[in-house]
Every structure is written in structure tokens, then in C-alpha cells.
Amino acid sequence: MQSNSPKAIAETERPGVRLSALERDHLLIRRKWTRAERKIVLQGFWGRFAIAIEPIVCGAVFAALTYGLYARGLWFLTPIFGSAAVAFAIYAFVMLIAPVRALLQTFGPIYIVDGYVRYREPDSNSEEGANGYVAVLLHDKRVCYEWPSYGDKPLPYGTIPALVEFSEYGAIHTIDGRPTGVIPKTHAALGIGSVHPTKRSLDDV
């Protein structure tokens, strides 16, 4: 996301009315993900899936051993191998949650808003390491969507006018046509899905 501190418009009001998912679909301009954008996310998915193959195979092997032991009457050994099969299955599942979710989001819309980007300080509900929140606002200051931001310094409270592209899971993609890095031009094959895209510092852009 944008690294500059907000300075165009002083903001004194607190978070106001938030659009529901239904209102976003009816009120906002939207576009589909391009083939190039989806390709980057898909590349990351296959990279993470390649890592998950090992626990998947190990889980299948232990599951087969568990069944074999039970079929041969060695049921007292099945908890050991069964527990290992379950552990590997859970590990593989956890590894694939984020990339699968990211991939599914590419079949949803990217919203386009000619409004504002608002920054505000962290609050009592902020996660550890969060330095505030970043939101996209309509021209009347209604909140389209808001995401946590992560960094060392708390965000100053303020609002800047901007033409924004965003998705609900991926956060802000561009500000005034400038990419925020949510969809990188190039990346390591295993780099997508390991960390939620909003968990990045504004200073990284």
C-alpha cells in the first residue's frame, strides 16, 4: 500500500456508515480479474500445493498402514499411525487454506471507486503488529471496506482523495493507477498465499 503519510485532507470524523456486501455489489463499479492477474495467483497456488504434496502423501501412507493394522487385528497400534495420518492431513489443510481462498477470490470482482483512502490509528481490536487501518471511502465518506495495516509506526489519522481499485480479500490493488504490490509483477513461485495480502506494511510499497 501507499507509503506516503496522508496529508491532503484533514480528517476529524470517525468511521461512519459501512456498505454491506449487497450494497457494494449494487453501488460500486467493478471489473473482472484479468488473465494475467489470475495467473500470478494460480502460480502461487501450484507452488504451495507442491509443498503440500509431501504431507498429503505421508498422511495417505499412514492412513493405509492404520487400515492394514486394523484389518490384521493389530488394533492396539492403530491410534499411533492414525494420529500421524490425521496430523499430516491437518498440516496439508492448513497450508492450502490461504492459497485456495486467494484463488477463489479471483473469480470475484475488483471494485473501482473514485473517492478516498482513509488511514486511522490502531484500536483495542487491532491484532498484534498492526499499526492502524486503511479504508476505501465513497465520495460521501461511507466506508466501502477496511483492512488492518501492519508496520512499526502508528498510522496518522487522515484522508486522501484517490481513484482506487480493491478486492475484499486482496485489499487495495492500485491508488491513482499506481500498484500497491498486492498483485506483484514477479514473485517467487511459493510466495502467494503464505501470508494474508493485507498483512503488509505501507512502508513496503
Interatomic CA distance for residues 68 and 89, integer angstroms: 18
Interatomic CA distance for residues 66 and 173, integer angstroms: 47
The whole-model pTM stands at: 0.71
Interhelix angle 78-105/35-71, nearest 10 degrees: 170
- The Cα-based distances of 11 to 26, 113, 119, 120, 130 in angstroms read 27, 19, 9, 9, 21
pLDDT tens for each residue of 20-75: 889 998 999 999 999 988 988 898 899 899 999 999 999 999 999 999 988 888 88
pLDDT given at position 197: 44
175: exposed, middle or buried (C-beta count within 10 Å: 0-12, 13-18, 19+)? buried
Sign of the Cα pseudo-torsion (175, 117, 3, 36, in order): negative
DSSP letter at 203? Answer: G
Per-residue pLDDT of the chain (205 residues; tens, 9 = 90+): 444 444 444 444 444 688 988 999 899 999 999 998 898 889 889 989 999 999 999 999 999 999 998 888 888 888 999 999 999 999 999 999 999 998 999 999 999 999 999 998 888 888 888 888 999 999 888 999 999 988 888 888 889 999 999 998 889 999 999 998 887 766 555 554 444 444 444 444 4
Domain boundaries, the chain: 21-32+109-182+189-197, 37-105
pLDDT given at position 187: 55
Residue type, 199: K
Are residues 59 and 89 in contact, defined by beta-carbon separation less than 8 angstroms? yes
